[in-house]
Chains A and B, each alone.
Chain A
């Protein structure tokens, strides 16, 4: 079956531009997560949705970062007025259940954002 897909795979933005990154989770998955991965580091949590509700946004680095999942399926991570330090791979993951011992999250391939 189809896994988690993300688009675009690569994005180059000039500093100050706004970008929107899309995530299509596995159909029927309740939970959706966004992570940021800098070069040579492990992924870092940004935000979490359970269906359409954003339950945790504690990892968003600034108010320039905004995420939504209006219908409980597709999610968009938006970054306003991009800065060079925003350059990273942005990973989306989904999982079938929430609040259980189901720790397996399915990750997409990521979007590599480069801010010049």
Chain B
């Protein structure tokens, strides 16, 4: 299974763009990259998923370089409500029995 490395914590201010980078040097050909967000006292929530290049949805963008050994989650114009833990997951859940493998995550703190 590909191991992921991401910063333990990050600080930002309201209105700024936040980029969280995740390293996954051993990513396999079939692996997808998925990000989840978790607020205190809640379960994780799916944000975005991609395989290569760039994916964008109403919440975030995911940038994946050609070698796929890293990925960057970009949150535009963060607000206080974006304070949460963000998890980068890499894997092929059908081949892992569907289970998600979480790391420690990045604790993002957005300040006024």
Contacts and interface: CB of A to CB of B under 8 A. Distances in A.
Interface of A: 4, 31, 33, 35, 40-45, 48, 50, 55-56, 58-59, 91-93, 95, 98-101, 103-110
A50 B97 CA distance: 10
A55 B43 CA distance: 23
Interface stretch (B10-18, B21-29, B65-73, B102-110): B102-110
B33 to A, nearest CB: 10
A101 B97 contact: no
B43 A93 contact: yes
Interface of B: 32, 34, 41-46, 49, 87, 93-94, 97-105
Nearest to A98: B98
Contacts of B102: 35, 42-44
B97 A103 contact: no
B57 to A, nearest CB: 12
Contact of B99 (A33, A40, A41, A110): A33
Contacts of B98: 31, 33, 48, 50, 56, 95, 98-99
B100 A45 contact: yes
8 contacts: A55-B97, A92-B43, A100-B94, A103-B34, A105-B100, A107-B42, A107-B45, A110-B42
A113 B105 CA distance: 22
Nearest to B101: A45
B76 to A, nearest CB: 21
A109 B43 CA distance: 5
Nearest to A31: B98
A42 B54 CA distance: 26
